[in-house]
Amino acid sequence: MPVATRYRVTRLDSLTLGGGAGARPQVNEKVAFVTVRSHPPSLVISLDSVLAKTGSRALEAAVDSVRGLRWEAPASRQGLTAPLRASIPTVLAEQLGAAVGLLFSQLPATGVQIGKGWSDSERLDLRLDAFRATEDARREVKVTAAEADGSPRLTVVADLTRNGVAVMGGQELKLQGSGRREAQYDLAPGGWPVRLTSRDSLSLSVTTPGNAIPVQWVTRILIETNAPR
């Protein structure tokens, strides 16, 4: 495990409210640079910089609120053994943390072997805008050799279920729905991740008393690194 590695994290969210032909997606894109340091038995991640490439003024203000952000979690050679904890509890911090945490998903205790896949499941607490939510994921993982150098490549397909609650204007809103994640990991020898591409596509429903709003939520994540420094 490298002592320190720097990653570029790109997260793009597309949110479409309503099911009519005129519904237009709300899109925001964030690009961050983070440095991941191994301090056994923990992993410490610091936010070096973040830029809101597209989105609202509210998102730009949120960027200012996460200066100096750090995450920390216990970790082993198999990945994170508990969720990342953010030093600054904001929606943006949790969205970036969810992306970085995905990079360090659990690997089998027996290690990664080309040609041998596995299946598993996990439950995560998420922050989806105003909603405090849980996500259940059932994963199927295949392991092949990357064309360039023969290093392990993981192809992941996961069935997702999300449920959450928010209170806005004194009214309770409920979020529920399901979807699919497709992801690909490139690993260095020893299992350290060097690249991740991921796409979540979910059909959700936000309900209030007497009303239900369909929501299509697509999240794309790209995380890449240079050689460990």
Distance from C-alpha of 196 to C-alpha of 223, rounded to nearest angstrom: 5
Distance from C-alpha of 64 to C-alpha of 52, rounded to nearest angstrom: 10
User: 10 Å Cβ neighbour count for 140?
Assistant: 13
Contact between 126 and 94 under an 8 Å Cβ cutoff? The reply is: yes
pLDDT tens digits, one per residue of 64-118: 788 899 999 999 888 888 889 999 988 889 889 999 999 998 888 888 999 999 9
* 29 closest CA partner among 59, 68, 2: 59
DSSP assignment of 202-228: EEEEEEETTEEEEEEEEEEEEEEE-S-
pLDDT score of 58 more than 70: no
**What integer pLDDT is reported at residue 227 of this predicted model?**
45
What dihedral do alpha carbons 79, 74, 133, 58 form, nearest 10°? Answer: -100
DSSP H or E segment with residue 15: strand 4-17
pLDDT score of 130 more than 50: yes
Range of the domain at 107: 4-225
**Rounded average pLDDT over 151-162:** 96
pLDDT tens digits, one per residue of 168-177: 888 899 999 9
Residue 228 pLDDT class (50, 70, 90 cuts): very low
- pTM here is 0.90
- Strand positions, DSSP E, 146-192: 152-168, 171-187
The CATH number given to whatever domain includes residue 71 is 2.30.230
Length of the chain: 229
Total domain count for the chain? Answer: 1
* 59 closest CA partner among 17, 13, 19: 13
